[in-house]
């Protein structure tokens, strides 16, 4: 199994669930993580990544970390200073229309969104609310483009788009697609030579459907046009995703693998969870399993069955531990607090 990994955690793209998979794999195999300085949760985002943002990095000691997976704005020459040269690079993308709808609810306080009641209102006159010079503008336009390190307000010429796609292909071994999450996990398992249990998961950091509303077609078209660089990235890598599956796995085997993955997840859900799945934040009984609530979103979580024992309890708990709690726990394990 591959153990040196760079995961570019693109915002609002099921990336918290992928991060949980990496946390569990890293913990099980005693791997080291490139944590943000002081045990924070982002690598000085939204600045471009620098090696010195990582706890324990020093230019004088060539210490390398196995897994880099916290939020960052990608800059490969700096990333290469903190991970082994053999590292596998991957990321996950989401349809920019749904991504921006999610971003709007989640980052309601961002400057571009704070004065509007709806996405429709924002899109009717975006430049009335959107300021390309403001420090949090990226939440409101071409968020994937920004996370990959490019300018979200760059011109949209075919030449520039091609250069951007080529640069991403040169840096990343593969890109997953959140709309095909189970197929993505099968591909991840193949590319990293992992077993099935390493890629099982329960969806994390998902929001209650009461805050979701379908978008009219006119808004969808405006969203695509406003996020055109993201749209180009998404459509290109959605195509290469399926080309890779056809080449490396085949559709028939993919269907079998997805079925096996879903069966295993259903089995774990029956074993681990009270009820059939996720619950509203107010209904989570164990406060240590309550995810951070953000913006206008209601983030769901899980209740574990009572009376789970030993290793099984540990497995179940890890599957449902929210990102911030899990990250803090692993940080304390890797950098134990010094006794006074």
Q: Is the dihedral of CA 52, 46, 228, 131 positive or negative?
A: negative
Q: Is residue 339 domain-resident? A: no
Count Cβ atoms below 10 Å from residue 302 Cβ, excluding itself.
28
Alpha helices in 110-178 (DSSP H): 119-124, 126-129, 143-147, 158-171
What pLDDT does 211 receive? 67
Residue 201 lies in a domain: yes
In a domain, 154, yes or no: yes
Using CA atoms, how far residue 132 sits from 129, 154, 205, in Å, is: 10, 10, 28
Residue 34: give the domain boundaries: 5-334
Give the phi and the psi of residue 46 in degrees, each rounded to 5.
Answer: -95, 20
- H or E stretch at 68: strand 67-68
Please state, in angstroms and rounded to a whole number, the distance separating the CA atoms of residues 272 and 183.
23
Please report which helix (H) or strand (E) contains residue 312, including its range. Answer: helix 310-320
Supply the CATH number for residue 297's domain: 3.40.50
Q: Per-residue confidence of the chain (340 residues) as pLDDT tens digits?
A: 999 999 999 999 999 999 999 999 999 999 999 999 999 999 999 999 999 999 999 999 778 999 999 999 999 999 999 999 999 999 999 999 999 999 999 998 898 999 999 999 999 999 999 999 999 999 999 999 999 999 999 989 999 999 999 999 999 999 999 999 999 999 999 999 999 999 999 988 888 776 677 889 999 999 999 999 999 999 999 999 999 999 999 999 999 999 999 999 999 999 999 987 899 889 999 989 998 887 777 889 999 999 999 999 999 999 999 999 999 999 999 999 888 8
- State the residue for tokens 């509303």: 213
Q: Is residue 160 part of a domain?
A: yes
Alpha-carbon dihedral 158, 163, 166, 172, rounded to 10 degrees: -120
Contacts of 186 (CB under 8 A, 6+ apart): 199, 249, 254, 257, 258, 261
Question: Would you say residue 340 lies in a domain?
Answer: no
Residue 212: CB atoms within 10 A of its CB come to 13
The answer to whether position 69 is within a domain reads yes
Helix (H) or strand (E) holding 330: helix 323-334
| Within a domain: 150 | yes
In a domain, 119, yes or no: yes
d(CA 174, CA 185): 12
Domain count, the chain: 1
What are the tokens at 172?
A: 């990343």
Q: In what order do the strands lie in the sheet with 88-93?
A: 67-68, 5-8, 88-93, 174-177
Q: In this predicted model, what pLDDT tens digit does every residue of 163-191 receive, in sequence order?
A: 999 999 999 999 999 999 999 999 999 99
């Amino acid at each position: 199994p591959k153990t040196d990994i760079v995961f570019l955690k693109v915002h609002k793209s099921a990336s918290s669930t992928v991060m949980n998979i990496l946390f569990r794999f890293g913990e099980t195999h005693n791997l080291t993580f490139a944590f943000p300085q002081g045990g924070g949760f982002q690598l000085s985002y939204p600045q471009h990544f620098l090696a010195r943002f990582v706890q324990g990095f020093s230019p004088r000691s060539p210490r390398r970390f196995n897994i880099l997976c916290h939020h960052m704005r990608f800059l490969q020459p700096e990333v290469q200073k903190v991970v082994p040269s053999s590292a596998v690079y991957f990321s996950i993308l989401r349809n920019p229309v749904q991504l921006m709808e999610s971003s709007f609810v989640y980052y309601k306080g961002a400057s571009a969104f704070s004065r509007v009641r709806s996405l429709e209102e924002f899109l009717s006159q975006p430049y009335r609310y959107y300021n390309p010079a403001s420090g949090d503008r990226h939440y409101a336009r071409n968020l994937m483009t920004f996370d990959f390190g490019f300018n979200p307000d760059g011109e949209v010429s075919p030449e520039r788009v091609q250069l951007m796609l080529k640069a991403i292909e040169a840096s990343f071994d593969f890109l997953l697609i959140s709309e095909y999450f189970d197929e993505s996990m099968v591909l991840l398992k193949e590319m990293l030579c992992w077993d099935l249990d390493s890629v099982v998961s329960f969806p994390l950091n998902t929001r209650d459907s009461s805050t979701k509303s379908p978008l009219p077609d006119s808004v969808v078209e405006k969203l695509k046009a406003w996020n055109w660089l993201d749209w180009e990235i998404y459509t290109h890598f959605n195509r290469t995703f399926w080309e890779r599956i056809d080449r490396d796995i085949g559709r028939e085997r993919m269907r079998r693998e997805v079925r096996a993955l879903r069966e295993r997840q259903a089995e774990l859900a029956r074993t681990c969870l009270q009820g059939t799945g996720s619950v509203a934040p107010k209904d989570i009984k164990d406060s240590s399993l309550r995810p951070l609530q953000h913006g206008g979103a209601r983030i769901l979580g899980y209740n574990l069955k009572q009376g789970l024992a030993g290793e099984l309890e540990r497995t179940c708990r890890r599957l449902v531990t929210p990102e911030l709690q899990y990250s803090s726990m692993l940080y304390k394990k890797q950098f134990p607090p010094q006794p006074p």
